[in-house]
């Protein structure tokens, strides 16, 4: 049986949401994790909407309503994460999509990670979809 370890953490003002989660996974000597849950607030956000080439950039106070996805760290330390988030603006507008770099924590982000130390995630081209897709391998 492969193991899973939960890892709750709080991100603080000014941290980049995506980068901080990737560093947290790497700091636990782990190469594969799932983001099980996340809430908090952002001062800036980059969300790539479905089908869009570039992220939509927002610069206002926002609430993270949901956060989930995978965090992958390759042997060379390169990251290949895939996270989705739904946020609410100050006017109550809700947007969701892929988490891009540049999502800055406003006051807090409270996240629960599931670390998978016996596994390794990577992303490789998939001819069927035309995108880099998740590849799951047991870690030696």
Spatial contact of 6 and 114, defined as CB atoms under 8 Å apart: yes
127 part of a folded domain: no
128 part of a folded domain: no
- Give the residue from 60, 129, 71 showing the smallest Cα distance to 95: 60
- CATH at residue 22: 3.30.1330.80
Tell me what pLDDT residue 79 has. 86
Alpha helices in the chain (DSSP H): 17-27
124 part of a folded domain: no
134 part of a folded domain: no
68 part of a folded domain: yes
Asked if residue 140 has pLDDT above 80, the reply is: no
133 part of a folded domain: no
Report the domain count for the chain. Answer: 1
What is the tens place of the pLDDT at every residue in 44-82?
A: 999 999 999 999 999 999 999 999 999 998 877 788 899
Phi, psi of 54, deg, nearest 5:
-120, 150
Q: Which domain holds residue 74?
A: 5-118
22 part of a folded domain: yes
Whole-number average pLDDT of the chain: 94
31 part of a folded domain: yes
Terminal Cα-to-Cα distance of the chain (whole angstroms): 14
Six token digits for residue 36: 């099980």
């Amino acid at each position: 049986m492969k193991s899973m370890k939960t890892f709750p953490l709080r991100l603080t003002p000014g941290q980049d949401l995506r980068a901080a989660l990737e560093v947290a996974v790497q700091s636990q000597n782990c190469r594969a994790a799932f983001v099980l849950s996340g809430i908090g607030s952002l001062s800036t956000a980059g969300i790539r909407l479905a089908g869009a080439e570039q992220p939509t950039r927002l610069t206002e106070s926002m609430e993270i309503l949901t956060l989930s996805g995978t965090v992958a760290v390759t042997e060379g330390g390169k990251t290949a994460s895939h996270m989705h988030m739904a946020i609410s603006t100050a006017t109550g507008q809700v947007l969701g999509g892929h988490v891009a770099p540049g999502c800055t924590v406003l006051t807090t982000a409270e996240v629960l990670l599931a670390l998978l130390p016996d596994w390794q995630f990577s992303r490789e081209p998939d001819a069927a979809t035309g995108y880099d897709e998740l590849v799951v391998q047991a870690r030696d």
